[in-house]
Structure 1
Amino acid sequence: MKKFLLFSVPSLFLILSVVLMTGGSWIKEPMGAHDDLFSYVQNIEHFIEEENWEEASEEHQNAQQAWDTISKRIQYSVEREDMLAISETLSRIEGGIKEEDTSSISPELYYFYELWSELG
């Protein structure tokens, strides 16, 4: 029994560590309706095209909350620079929404899409 525990506990720990560190692409996916970051950003893009700034601001708040949830899940499986880049992009989008400047938000949205597709 001691030998079994001696080998199984470290093996299980190593397996779980490898799964956690390599699972960024599936860990980032939404686990509920409240953390679907990609959908929130797509909604922001839609509201900006219609120049509906209040709805875009509300969606941005939802996106920020979703990112806070997702970033805690993926912090061990993705590069720190990628996480910081997404945070910066969301901040720039927020600034563009507050200024109601479509031309500054569009490049940030497409940069976010690229970061998101490469994440994990």
Structure 2
Amino acid sequence: MRRFLVRIIPIVTLGFFVAVMLSSGYMKKPRTQEENVDKFISTTIEYVKNEDWSNAEKEVEKLNLAWNKVLKRVQFSSELDQINYLGESIDKAKGGIIAEDKGISLSNLTSFYEEWQTIGK
């Protein structure tokens, strides 16, 4: 019995850690509408393209809240640099929206979206 446990416990533990590390694709999927990062990023981009700054500001706040909720799930299966980059992109996009600068806002929102797509691949 001891020999069995000495072999099975490390195997089960390693299997668990591998499953956690490979789960980011599943973990980034929204559980509720408040966590739908894809929807919030696309609507924010549309508002910025149309220069509807007040709605864009509200939508980027929703995006930030959704990102913070999803972050808690994907933080163990994604790289720290990737997570930091996504947070910085949202902050820079907020600044661009407050300054009503279409170029800065779109470039940061687009870079956020592109990096978001690479999580879990």
Give, in whole Å, the separation in 2 of the partners of 1:95 and 1:53. Answer: 12
1:21-36 matches, within 5 Å, as 21-36=21-36
Give the aligned residue type for 1:99.
Answer: A
Cα RMSD (Å): 1.9
Tell me the alpha carbon deviations over residues 46-78 of structure 1, each in whole angstroms, 9 at most, x when there is no partner.
111221111111111111111111111011101
Aligned to 2:30, the other structure's residue is in SS state coil
User: 1:113 corresponds to which residue?
Assistant: 113
Give, in whole Å, the separation in 2 of the partners of 1:70 and 1:104. Answer: 25
Q: Does 1:67 pair with 2:106?
A: no
* C-alpha deviation, 1:13, in angstroms: 4.0
Runs of 4+ aligned structure 1 residues displaced above 2 Å come to 1-17
Q: Does 1:100 pair with 2:100?
A: yes
* C-alpha deviation, 1:81, in angstroms: 0.1
Q: How many residues align?
A: 120
Structure 1, unaligned runs of 5 or more: none
Structure 2, unaligned runs of 5 or more: none
* C-alpha deviation, 1:23, in angstroms: 1.0
Q: Does 1:40 pair with 2:40?
A: yes
Give, in whole Å, the separation in 1 of the partners of 2:6 and 2:65. Answer: 42
25-34 or 94-103, which moves further after superposition?
Answer: 25-34
Give the aligned residue type for 2:45.
Answer: E
- Normalised TM-score (structure 2): 0.86
Give, in whole Å, the separation in 2 of the partners of 1:32 and 1:14. Answer: 31
